[in-house]
Chains A and B, each alone.
Chain A
């Protein structure tokens, strides 16, 4: 095997994307927990911490540009780098959506309605968290079958989201809080969509073709 430097640069890049994935998963988990415990100070901190995710994504972009310029990769190597860029961009958006969830919660007048819909919300949150973990694991091992399964999980989330939003719209309680909860569940559903995007990029990295899982 030649090009050891190049190979280690590719590994480093992927390592950084995986770490970004961990960060985003942790943020999501922390936002859900802070909402559940009505810990507003923690939510504020999490909103501020999003800057780190943005910086990590930028660092990955810069590193990828340098590797492309220096090594002029082709074929599988080029896809490896393109997929690092694509996944880090999707992860960054997922980070933004977690922040949006925190902001929506902070706009709510009281935690009452969250608690009345707690079971449904946490059930969606659990599915989303599981999906993030699984898709990043599939990325780690470039497991195409696992990546294809992710799409099925997204369908579950979409269904649960549809039911919850319907209930919220029919709710006679505070319209403002119902709207914020609808936003929160919408943001979770969007994170699921980004996980599906990541799954599609995994398939692209392995097979060289785009596959629409949505």
Chain B
């Protein structure tokens, strides 16, 4: 997508680590602990999201995976009981720093939820909403953004003649891709997906999976999924969470062929969870 919104100043490059031709970490979490009131949900989580990669976050219910990705865009903090220690940095910058407004973070880090949640507006308005908030008024430019975003979300051909219709008239799978288009319209850097296909039928699921693979060329994506085959199909790296800890994070091929930790093996082979 061409740059239609103001770009942030480019992040400073971190010094190259030794043995690295490796990709830059877009997100880096170090020693992240998180409590809901007195109950600790995350325990010293160290994890990285690399540039233009898909990271799948897997683990049984209640293991902290959704909490984790919602910590990355600070959504989890909407709950006043939440307390966090440790550090989350986005492109080297502490996301909790005063110099990093949360609105800016959320512009750079889009999110797609489990249930498609379009606004009760037209297809066009759903996608144009974000850019409008960012001050874009030019009708032609908005049309351009909407088309590019819908194309980017692989739904343009299905809705191009229905742009003025209410988004609730779309199928579940289409609504979810519309939400992805809405997310793309503000040109994020990272897309967080919280079980984006769990409410979709198998065919729509495969479409969203194909889309994730395409989006990876331009965006860094972290996806929480209960569907292990999905993690195996679409991700480059997989992080396995258990009881609020990261048991193992490695290349997806490694995790699904020869995981290092017995608990990972037991989970992915369906022995528990």
Q: Interface on A for B, CB 8 Å cutoff?
A: 1-3, 6, 72-79, 207-209
A74 to B254, CA, bound (A): 11
Residues on B with beta carbons closer than 8 Å to the beta carbon of A208: 257-258
By the criterion CB–CB under 8 Å, are B257 and A78 in contact?
Answer: yes
By the criterion CB–CB under 8 Å, are A75 and B259 in contact?
Answer: yes
A73-B269, A74-B228, A77-B269 given. 9 additional CB < 8 A pairs? A1-B272, A2-B270, A2-B271, A2-B272, A74-B269, A75-B259, A75-B265, A78-B257, A79-B257
Residues on A with beta carbons closer than 8 Å to the beta carbon of B268: 74-75
By the criterion CB–CB under 8 Å, are A74 and B272 in contact?
Answer: no
Number of B positions contacting A (CB below 8 A)? 13
By the criterion CB–CB under 8 Å, are B258 and A75 in contact?
Answer: yes
Chain B residue, CB-CB nearest to A80: B269
A6 to B258, CA, bound (A): 19
- The answer to the question of B170 belonging to the interface, with a C-beta cut-off of 8 Å to chain A, is no
Candidate in A1, A74, A79, A209 with the most chain B CB atoms within 10 angstroms: A74
- 9 cross-chain pairs, A with B, having the tightest CB-CB distances, nearest first: A208-B258, A3-B270, A74-B256, A77-B269, A75-B265, A74-B268, A75-B269, A76-B265, A75-B268
The one of A1, A72, A79, A207 in contact with B271, judged by C-beta atoms closer than 8 angstroms, is A1
- The answer to the question of B84 belonging to the interface, with a C-beta cut-off of 8 Å to chain A, is no
- The answer to the question of B163 belonging to the interface, with a C-beta cut-off of 8 Å to chain A, is no
Residues on A with beta carbons closer than 8 Å to the beta carbon of B258: 75, 207-209
Chain B residue, CB-CB nearest to A1: B271
Digitize B50-85: 1 where CB-to-A-CB distance is under 8 Å, 0 elsewhere. Answer: 000000000000000000000000000000000000
A1 to B270, CA, bound (A): 8
A3 to B270, CA, bound (A): 7
Interface hits, B237-273 → A, CB 8 Å: 256-259, 265, 268-272
Residues on A with beta carbons closer than 8 Å to the beta carbon of B228: 74
Interface hits, B177-218 → A, CB 8 Å: none
By the criterion CB–CB under 8 Å, are A6 and B257 in contact?
Answer: no
Residues on A with beta carbons closer than 8 Å to the beta carbon of B265: 75-76
A74 to B230, CA, bound (A): 12
Closest chain-A Cβ to B238's Cβ sits at a distance in Å of: 11
By the criterion CB–CB under 8 Å, are A3 and B271 in contact?
Answer: yes
Residues on B with beta carbons closer than 8 Å to the beta carbon of A2: 270-272
- The answer to the question of B229 belonging to the interface, with a C-beta cut-off of 8 Å to chain A, is yes
- The answer to the question of B102 belonging to the interface, with a C-beta cut-off of 8 Å to chain A, is no
Residues on B with beta carbons closer than 8 Å to the beta carbon of A73: 269
A72 to B256, CA, bound (A): 11
By the criterion CB–CB under 8 Å, are B271 and A74 in contact?
Answer: no
- The answer to the question of B232 belonging to the interface, with a C-beta cut-off of 8 Å to chain A, is yes
A2 to B270, CA, bound (A): 7
By the criterion CB–CB under 8 Å, are B271 and A75 in contact?
Answer: no
A72 to B271, CA, bound (A): 14
Closest chain-A Cβ to B141's Cβ sits at a distance in Å of: 46
Chain B residue, CB-CB nearest to A72: B229
Chain A residue, CB-CB nearest to B269: A77
Chain A residue, CB-CB nearest to B264: A75
A74 to B252, CA, bound (A): 12
A208 to B259, CA, bound (A): 9
A73 to B265, CA, bound (A): 11
Residues on B with beta carbons closer than 8 Å to the beta carbon of A74: 228, 232, 256-257, 268-269
Closest chain-A Cβ to B63's Cβ sits at a distance in Å of: 16
Closest chain-B Cβ to A211's Cβ sits at a distance in Å of: 14
Closest chain-B Cβ to A74's Cβ sits at a distance in Å of: 5
By the criterion CB–CB under 8 Å, are B270 and A75 in contact?
Answer: no
Residues on B with beta carbons closer than 8 Å to the beta carbon of A77: 269
Residues on A with beta carbons closer than 8 Å to the beta carbon of B269: 3, 73-77
Residues on A with beta carbons closer than 8 Å to the beta carbon of B229: 72
Closest chain-B Cβ to A142's Cβ sits at a distance in Å of: 15
A73 to B259, CA, bound (A): 14
A173 to B85, CA, bound (A): 88
A3 to B228, CA, bound (A): 15
Residues on B with beta carbons closer than 8 Å to the beta carbon of A79: 257
A78 to B258, CA, bound (A): 10
Candidate in A2, A73, A76 with the most chain B CB atoms within 10 angstroms: A76
Chain A residue, CB-CB nearest to B232: A74
List, sorted by A's number, 8 A–B pairs whose CB atoms are closer than 8 Å: A2-B272, A3-B269, A3-B271, A6-B270, A74-B228, A75-B256, A75-B269, A78-B257
Chain B residue, CB-CB nearest to A6: B270
